[in-house]
Chain A
Amino acid sequence: MPSAAALRLEIERTMEHRFPAALTPVPKTIREVVQTGIASVDALLEGGLPVGAISEVIGPESSGRTSLTLAFLAKRTEAEQVCAWVDAGDTFDPESAAASGVSLKQLLWVRCRREREMIKVKPWTRLDQALRATDLLLQAGGFAAIVLDLGDMEPEHAMRIPLATWFRFRQAADRNRCSLVVLGKTAYAQSGAEVVLESMPFSPEIVGGTVWRGCMFAVGRKRQRFTQFSAGVRKPPASTWSADAAWEPGRSA
């Protein structure tokens, strides 16, 4: 009686012209991930955002993109690592970051200048400045996470970023073990991104009709490379998470 291994080899050899290695499981690519600090999002992402890759957090205004990214940065700075926030629209709020637990001393904030303010410096657009700054930071290395904030950038402008730029960023991020998070209204990096998280509009939590206590956000996984294929799932996975207002005292998670 032939052994199981010999039998498998025979079947594989027979089907070789149609399926190479038909009965051998496909090797799984395991990527290093870091937690975002939000349990439901981590569960959705099977661990967290990837290290050495581009992640995109997309959605309209008030969909929780920034809160989610700040929660992720808070985790990174908590681990004594340094991060950078490349702010194309100059919209970053240090008070919100501090309230989210980000150590501001470990955060490099690059505030891109509006075109009309650029009298002495080079006349680059804000998008140009942001891309150049991100490039420099990625090449310098040593940053655990870099956020490229294009949240206020109109998609018709940001969509013009060449795909080659995203591939270069991905390679540099991979080389330096850096998580590059791109905030935007829609996905820009296309196949350059390893994870695309889509944030949905929110529902507020109100107390007594006078105080805005927090928000409930929905988030969906729009794209994730190297994920295990599961035959039963049709819809892209999604989840919800909540964020407290900055003035709200801490509640148990």
Chain B
Amino acid sequence: MIGELYACVHAAEFPAQALLRLRTDLQSQPVAVLDGPVSQETICSLNRHAVRRGAALGMTKLEAEGLYGLRLLPRSTEVETAANTVFLECAAMFSPRIEEVSEGTACALALDIAGTERLFGPSEKLSVRLRDEMATAGFRASIAVSANFHAARMKATAARGITIIAAGEEARSLEKLHISALNLTDEHKETFALWGIRTLGELAALPEVELVKRLGAAASNWRALAHGVARHTFQPIEPEFALKEFYDFETPVEQMDSLLFIGARMIDCLVARAAGRALSLASLTVDMELEGGRVHHLVIRPAVPSIDRKFLLKLLQLEIGAHPPQSAVVSLTLSAEAGQSSKVQLGLFAPQMPEPSRLDVTLARLKAIVGEDRVGSPVLEDTHRPGSFCMEGFVVGAKSSGSKAERSRMALRRVRPPRPVRVATHVMKPVAFSDGGSRFEIEAAYGPWKTSGFWWSLDGWDTEEWDALAVSNNGEKFGCLLVLDRLRNEWRLEAFYD
């Protein structure tokens, strides 16, 4: 039978860590997080650089502003929720059974790691990997491993770094912890202070019966906690897998570089989380809250799901470049849809094809040059209207749609938009035309080929087409398509034969 074994991971000052994990530029600066109603804001969380500058929890905003170099950030519950999800995701990579044991402004999780030795090795190795994973996600966390749930929890809260408590050594490991680790009421804290009991080791040394007589039944549990033998019924939570990152800017951001700086970090985190589950990002949804309350919504869909961060960042850059927000951005949310990682096996004799991910970037760049609706594959519409088509996204690997032509065909070169021309006719047949500047004699005209449709709607057409062999003033011959629009009674030069 496998014995109990728990790893508790504790991230202190979580509001500050949540804000700083996406801001690598602020991580080496003193930062404090303010919370509370306006004009009564106090420091609720801070990093160690801020502590060195003299900042402390509960300090008012006015006092904090007096400290040189201290950056003050407002607390953001959305950022903390997103960070909490990421924290949970990281922990879930090591055990499916997780219980949340957060207290105050810290975020703490207890992982049931019994039986994971064959996967992750001994507790020391698992702890190091867990710490590294947390660090990659941007969290600084302390970790304690013990066979007793409460011993791991209390040790992780009190100690920094990694602590491994050997079986049977719980009491000795906890003896130096302050008695406040037991979550006592103020009355009991005062009583213990009067007795001169400051550490768990001193509490554990007290006789149980006399302790219970004086402080009631709860004292027995405290003593068991101090000994590291208290029992616990594990209550696992089920982490919901949602690929979402949120960042609330201190001040509205107008420059794309600043957005991409944060966006890159967000993509890193999303990619790492998706890769942890052997998944890729199939689509990326960008929601930018703008000044004035409007939301700018963008969706990026790579041709194949990808975890290539450079590629995704490039797509993000091109998409924002093509559809820039109309005003400054207040907050940025990136949510991703997970997809199966695609593997493309290219054969030695396979036809040459563009690489899907590279093609995505190329298409986005082309759209940035010529416009969104002007790049793609043409699709002929199911209508008799001449020259009607629509554009569809270009997809590599689409099945061949063309019918094999046995002989070569004369091609048209369209004039877009059709050029209005003045046509001279003789016996209902065009004999010459001019486009404003030049006059062309028509040697022969073949037609008319009449087409009409949609007569019941405003979109209708009724045309006569003439295939004309024309000669310019300098003697150059060419074939063209002249069209008489019978609804508007005007002639147009629609195309040249080439």
Tell whether A and B belong to one assembly.
yes
For the complex with contacts A101-B405, A111-B370, A142-B359, 18 further pairs of A-B residues with Cβ separation under 8 Å are A60-B476, A61-B478, A61-B496, A66-B412, A70-B409, A71-B405, A78-B402, A91-B416, A93-B411, A95-B380, A98-B380, A98-B402, A101-B402, A102-B402, A105-B400, A151-B413, A204-B469, A215-B410
In the complex, A77→B405 CA distance in Å?
12
Could you give 22 example pairs across A and B, Cβ below 8 Å? Answer: A38-B408, A64-B498, A66-B498, A67-B408, A82-B396, A94-B378, A97-B378, A104-B378, A105-B395, A108-B377, A110-B370, A129-B369, A132-B369, A133-B369, A136-B369, A142-B352, A201-B477, A204-B444, A250-B407, A251-B406, A251-B407, A253-B406
Q: How many residues of B contact A (CB 8 A)?
A: 61
The residues in B between 409 and 449 inclusive whose CB is less than 8 angstroms from any CB of A are: 409-416, 444, 446
Q: Would you call A141 and B400 a contact (CB within 8 A)?
A: no
The interface-forming segment of B17-25, B209-217, B268-276, B386-394 is B386-394
Of residues 196 through 216 on chain A, the ones whose CB sits less than 8 Å from some CB of chain B are 201-202, 204, 206, 210-212, 214-215
Task: Please tell me if A177 contacts chain B, counting CB pairs below 8 Å.
Answer: yes
Name which of A9-17, A20-28, A226-234, A240-248 contacts chain B.
A240-248
A30 interface contact, C-beta 8 A: no
Contact across chains for A214 and B410 when beta carbons are under 8 A apart: yes
Do A109 and B498 touch across chains, with their CB atoms under 8 A apart?
no
Q: Bound state CA distance, A142 and B362, in angstroms?
A: 12
Q: Interface 1/0s, chain B 361-396, versus A by CB < 8 A?
A: 110011011110011111110000011010100111
**Interface status of A224 (Cβ within 8 A of chain B):** no
Q: Is the pair B369, A61 in contact by a Cβ cutoff of 8 Å?
A: no
Contact of A144 (CB < 8 Å), options: B352, B365, B416, B496: B352
Alpha-carbon distance A138/B286, docked complex (angstroms): 31
Is A37 located at the chain interface by the 8 A CB criterion? yes
Between B351, B411, B497, the greatest number of chain A beta carbons within 10 A of the residue's beta carbon is seen for B411
Q: A108-B376, A109-B378 are in contact. Are A62 and B402 (CB under 8 A)?
A: no
CA distance A4 to B176 in the complex (A): 103
Interface centre among B379, B391, B405, B444 (most CB of A within 10 A): B405
Q: Which residues of chain B are near A81, meaning CB under 8 Å? A: 351-353
Residues of B contacting A170 with CB < 8 Å?
Answer: none
Query: Contact partner of A108 among B394, B402, B496, CB < 8 A?
Result: B394
A107 at interface, CB cutoff 8 A: yes
Q: Are A113 and B374 in contact (CB under 8 A)?
A: yes
B48 to chain A, nearest CB (A): 48
Residues from chain A with Cβ under 8 Å of B407 in the complex? 242-244, 250-251, 253
Docked Cα-Cα span, A103 to B387, in Å, equals: 17
Chain B residue, CB-CB nearest to A139: B362
A114 to chain B, nearest CB (A): 9
B465-498: CB near A (< 8 Å → 1, else 0) gives 0010100000011111000000000000001111
A45 CB within 8 Å of chain B: no
CB-based contact A246/B354 at 8 Å: no
Task: Give the interface residue-count category, chain A.
Answer: 35 or more
Q: How far is the CB of A184 from chain B (nearest CB, A)?
A: 12
- Beta-carbon contacts of A26-49 to B below 8 Å, as 1s and 0s? 000000000001100000000000
A138 to chain B, nearest CB (A): 10
**A75 CA to B368 CA in the complex, in Å?**
31
Tell me whether A68 is interfacial, beta carbon within 8 Å. yes
Judged by a CB distance under 8 angstroms, whether A190 is at the interface is no
CA gap between A120 and B410 in the complex, in Å: 36
Q: Which residues on B sit within 8 Å (CB–CB) of A121?
A: 368-371
A74 touches B479 (CB 8 A): no
Q: B369, A142: Cβ atoms under 8 Å?
A: no
Query: Which residues of A have CB within 8 Å of B380?
Result: 94-95, 98, 104
Residues of B within 8 A of A97 (CB): 378, 411
Would you call B355 an interface residue if the criterion is a C-beta within 8 Å of the partner chain's C-beta atoms? yes
- Cα distance A90–B478 in the bound complex, in angstroms: 19
In the complex, chain B residues whose CB is within 8 Å of the CB of A139: 362
Judge whether B401 is part of the interface by a CB distance below 8 angstroms. yes
Give every chain A residue within 8 A of B479 (Cβ-Cβ): 62, 202, 204, 212, 215
- Complexed CA–CA distance, A142 and B358 (Å): 10
Q: Given the complex of chains A and B, what is the CA–CA distance between A81 and B351 in angstroms?
A: 6
B255 CB–A CB distance under 8 Å: no
* A137 and B366 alpha carbons, distance in the complex (Å): 9
- Tell me whether A206 and B446 are in contact in the complex, defined as CB-CB below 8 angstroms, given that A96-B411, A98-B380, A243-B408 are known contacts: yes
* Residue from A62, A80, A103, A245 within 8 A of B409 (CB atoms): A245
* Max chain A Cβ within 10 angstroms of own Cβ: one of B355, B370, B375, B467: B370
Asked if B411 and A100 sit within 8 Å, CB to CB, the answer is: yes
Cβ–Cβ contact B404 & A101, under 8 A: yes
- In the complex, A61 Cα to B478 Cα: how many Å? 6
Chain B residues within an 8 Å CB radius of A91: 413-416
The reply on B398 being an interface residue by CB < 8 A is yes
Residue of B362, B398, B478 near A62 (CB, 8 A) is: B478
Using a CB-CB cutoff of 8 Å, which residues 33-65 of chain B contact chain A? none
Q: Which residue of B lies closest to A252 (CB)?
A: B406
Q: How far is the CA of A203 from the CA of B342 in the complex (A)?
A: 54
> In the complex, which residues of chain B have a beta carbon less than 8 angstroms from the beta carbon of A143?
352, 354
Q: Is B232 an interface residue (CB 8 A)?
A: no
Query: How near does chain B come to A57, taking the closest CB pair, in angstroms?
Result: 10
Q: Please give, as numbers and ranges, the residues of chain A lying within 8 Å of B258 by CB-CB distance.
A: none
Chain B nearest Cβ from A178, distance in angstroms: 8
Bound complex: CA A99 to CA B403 (Å): 8
A38–B446 Cα distance when bound, in Å, is 27
Tell me which residues across on chain A come within 8 A of B118, comparing CB atoms.
none
4 closest A-B pairs by beta carbon, nearest first, are A142-B354, A101-B405, A103-B402, A94-B378
Q: Find out whether the CB atom of B406 lies under 8 angstroms from the CB atom of A250.
A: yes
